[in-house]
Amino acid sequence: MPFNTPPLLGGELEAIRQCLGEGAFSGNGRFSRQCARLLEERLPVARALITPSCTAALEMAAILCDLGPGDEAIVPSFTFSSTANAIALRGAVPVFVDIEPDTLNVSPDAVARAITARTRAIFVVHYAGVPCEMDRINEIAAAHGLVVIEDAAQALGSSYKGRAAGALASMGAFSFHATKNIVSGEGGALTLGDPALVERAEIVQEKGTNRSQFVRGEVDKYTWVDIGSSYLLSEIAAAFLIGQIRSVDEINGDRLATWRTYRDSFLDLEQSGRARLPVVPEHVRHNAHIFYLLLRDEAERDRFLEAMRGQGVMATSHYVPLHSSPAGRKFGRSAGSLAQTDKVAGTIVRLPLYFGMTDRDRGQVIDRVRAFFRTD
Ligand SMILES: Cc1ncc(COP(=O)(O)O)c(C=O)c1O
The residue segments making up the domain with residue 324 are 249-375
**How far, in Å, is the centroid of ligand 1 from the Cα of 80?**
6
pLDDT at 376: 63
| E strand spans, the chain | 47-51, 72-76, 93-97, 119-125, 147-151, 159-160, 163-164, 171-175, 188-192, 284-285, 292-294, 333-334, 348-350
Per-residue pLDDT tens over the stretch 23-42: 999 999 999 999 999 999 99
Structural domain count of the chain: 2
Strands 93-97 and 333-334 turn out to be: parallel
Same domain for 261 and 132 = no
Q: Work out which ligand 1 atom sits closest to the CA atom of 186.
A: 10
pLDDT at 277: 98
pLDDT at 347: 98
Angle separating helix axes 54-64 and 81-89, nearest 10 degrees? 40
- Residue 178 within a domain: yes
Q: In the listed set 247, 281, 305, which residue is the last one of a domain according to the structure?
A: 247
Q: Is the pLDDT of residue 375 over 90?
A: no
**How far, in Å, is the centroid of ligand 1 from the Cα of 130?**
15
Q: Is the pLDDT of residue 257 over 70?
A: yes
Q: Work out which ligand 1 atom sits closest to the CA atom of 177.
A: 10
Same domain for 124 and 77 = yes
**How far, in Å, is the centroid of ligand 1 from the Cα of 82?**
6
Same domain for 265 and 206 = no
**How far, in Å, is the centroid of ligand 1 from the Cα of 55?**
6
For residue 141, give the H/E element and its range: helix 134-144
Per-residue pLDDT tens over the stretch 323-352: 999 999 999 999 999 999 999 999 999 999
- Report the largest interatomic distance among the alpha carbons of the chain, rounded to a whole angstrom: 73
Average pLDDT over residues 309-336: 97
Same domain for 355 and 255 = yes
Q: Is the pLDDT of residue 290 over 80?
A: yes
Q: Work out which ligand 1 atom sits closest to the CA atom of 179.
A: 14
CB 239 within 8 A of CB 15: yes
**How far, in Å, is the centroid of ligand 1 from the Cα of 87?**
14
Neighbour-count burial of 222, counting CB atoms closer than 10 A to its CB (0-12 exposed, 13-18 middle, 19+ buried): middle
| Ligand 1 probe mutation, 104, 171, 175, 233, most atoms within 8 A of CB | 175
Q: Is the pLDDT of residue 157 over 90?
A: yes
pLDDT at 355: 98
Banded pLDDT at 56 (limits 50, 70, 90): very high
Q: Which residues line ligand 1 (CB under 6 A)?
A: 53-55, 79-80, 82-83, 125, 151, 153-154, 175, 177, 188
Q: What percent of the chain has pLDDT over 90?
A: 99
Check which CATH number belongs to the domain holding 367 and give it: 3.90.1150.10
pLDDT at 54: 99
Check which CATH number belongs to the domain holding 122 and give it: 3.40.640.10
CB 356 within 8 A of CB 254: yes
Per-residue pLDDT tens over the stretch 227-245: 999 999 999 999 999 999 9
